Chains A and B, each alone.
Chain A
Amino acid sequence: MKAGGSEQELREAARKLLKDKKVGVVVGYARGTGELRSTPAFIRHGKDADRLIFDRTCGISLVPHLRKALKALPKGAKAAVVAKGCDGRALVQYMAEGQLKRDDVVIVGVACDGVLDPRKSDVLSDSCLRCRYPNPPVYDVFVAEPKAVGAGDEYAAVTEFEKLGPEERWGWFQTQFAKCIRCYACRNACPMCYCEECFVDQTNPLWFGKSAEQPDTAMFHIVRALHTAGRCVDCGACERACPLGVRLGLLNKRIEKEIKERFGYTAGLDPEATPALATYDEEDKQEFIL
């Protein structure tokens, strides 16, 4: 694939950061196995910067890789990361949660037109179709021009789904969970699933059975959605990582809507804000409490 103008600009920016010794490593994307795949790349020398790409195949979230890259660097050294809008929001959420210091990272923002979902052959990822934040909220360098903020109704799919009766809704979720083989690729790809030990890996207590039996699978997905509640930035990395095409994003989106309406909080926009479920307001609505 021929490198476009902004790709050249991206490589130039990476080369400059490395040459000026501003960062020890640039975490970005390189061409993966085949034209439609990208892979995370860790660029440590300016001469390797030409490996960097950015296009519609760059769907992996680099945020978990950035954390690993930072740990490998000597103390005080910075890392740069190529960030789409959603990755930028994940970085902001990390800062809000005390997982990342703003000074440790150089954010290279890229203008994102959405990325492909490998299981939808030629269509954009669901989360990209409803994306409202194509640019990272904070960045140090921006390659090309920031894009206009999306204006569509990001909750259209949620509203549509809610028109169904409870029986149909449950039925749809059953078909999704039935596909799941509990490989945890969604969790591994998720920038927000950064726990050192995940609840599904704990054996004492064993929260849920390990098999792909229906209720256990459902529990896994519900609890994962709850653990990322008010933190999920709807990057869609989970859906793209899923080898079986489980539509994981809808439940997360519903929870995101609840938190936005109830607590007025949107994840990944303000590094100073306290995450919605880590705080409270005495005046929170409680119409559901007897």
Chain B
Amino acid sequence: MNEWQPKILAFLCNWCSYAGADLAGVSRIQYPPNVRVVRVPCSGRVNPIFILKSLENGFDGVLVSGCHPGDCHYISGNYIARRKFAVLKAALEFMGVEPGRVQFSWVSAGEGEKFAQVIGQVTDTVKGLGPAKRLVKTAEAPGVAG
């Protein structure tokens, strides 16, 4: 009961992953309650700053989920996002931020099962990593006055 629970922020695209989450809900599929959802118009809307800011503000993990390649409502939003995320992921790993903190997935509106499975997988990974320490703004962080 007292086990540490991670807080995970999920950016879900309006057209696929958000609907996938909705389907998981109406289908009564169980998945961990660690995830807080932000609905975005498209995975391409997710600025890497959003992801960094989430970590800075105390989320232990961030998930960005969009439509499968070829299914983007805006034709190419997820393709552009894929390039951005590849670069962000490489940069964060290079700096020594744990790879599991920031994750990406494609979940369609029909994949309620997959949505639950992705959330389970992300939650397990972040649980394994423990509370986020890097890039987090806390009173104890080095360099903070007082």
Interface residues of A (CB under 8 A from B): 158, 161-162, 165-171, 173-174, 177-178, 199, 207-209, 212-219, 222-223, 225-226, 229-230, 251, 254-255, 258-259, 262-263, 276-277, 279-282, 284-286, 288-290
Residues on the A chain within 8 Å of B30, using CB: none
A167 touches B91 (CB 8 A): no
Residues on the B chain within 8 Å of A209, using CB: 137
Residues on the A chain within 8 Å of B59, using CB: none
Residues on the B chain within 8 Å of A263, using CB: 83
Comparing B1-9, B21-29, B32-40, B102-110, the segment that makes contact with chain A is B102-110
A286 touches B142 (CB 8 A): no
Residues on the B chain within 8 Å of A177, using CB: 143
B121 touches A214 (CB 8 A): no
B143 touches A169 (CB 8 A): no
Residues on the B chain within 8 Å of A229, using CB: 87, 91
Least Cβ–Cβ distance between B11 and chain A, in angstroms: 14
A213 touches B144 (CB 8 A): yes
B86 touches A284 (CB 8 A): yes
Partner of A288, one of B76, B85, B96, B143: B85
B49 touches A166 (CB 8 A): no
Chain B: interface residue count, which band? Answer: 35 or more
Main secondary structure on B side of the interface with A: helix
Residues on the B chain within 8 Å of A171, using CB: 96
B49 touches A277 (CB 8 A): no
Residues on the B chain within 8 Å of A276, using CB: 83
A280 touches B137 (CB 8 A): no
Task: State whether A259 and B87 are in contact (beta carbons under 8 Å apart), knowing that A213-B137, A280-B76, A290-B118 are contacts in the complex.
Answer: yes
Task: State whether A214 and B143 are in contact (beta carbons under 8 Å apart), knowing that A169-B95, A263-B83, A280-B76 are contacts in the complex.
Answer: yes
B143 touches A178 (CB 8 A): yes
Nearest 4 Cβ contacts at the A-B interface: A170-B96, A214-B143, A280-B79, A169-B96
In the complex, what distance in Å separates the CA atom of A158 from the CA atom of B95? 11
Find the B residue at minimum CB distance from A180. Answer: B143
B106 touches A219 (CB 8 A): no
B134 touches A277 (CB 8 A): no
In the complex, what distance in Å separates the CA atom of A173 from the CA atom of B69? 35
Main secondary structure on A side of the interface with B: helix
Least Cβ–Cβ distance between B116 and chain A, in angstroms: 12
In the complex, what distance in Å separates the CA atom of A177 from the CA atom of B96? 14
Residues on the A chain within 8 Å of B92, using CB: 222
In the complex, what distance in Å separates the CA atom of A169 from the CA atom of B95? 6
Q: Which residues between 55 and 106 of chain B lie within 8 Å of chain A, taking CB atoms? A: 56, 69-70, 76, 79-80, 82-98, 103-106
Least Cβ–Cβ distance between B133 and chain A, in angstroms: 9
Find the A residue at minimum CB distance from B69. Answer: A282
Residues on the A chain within 8 Å of B90, using CB: 254-255, 258
A289 touches B83 (CB 8 A): no
Partner of B49, one of A169, A178, A207, A262: A207
Task: State whether A213 and B141 are in contact (beta carbons under 8 Å apart), knowing that A207-B49, A219-B135, A226-B87 are contacts in the complex.
Answer: yes
Partner of A199, one of B49, B70, B85, B141: B49
Find the A residue at minimum CB distance from B122. Answer: A290
Least Cβ–Cβ distance between A210 and chain B, in angstroms: 13
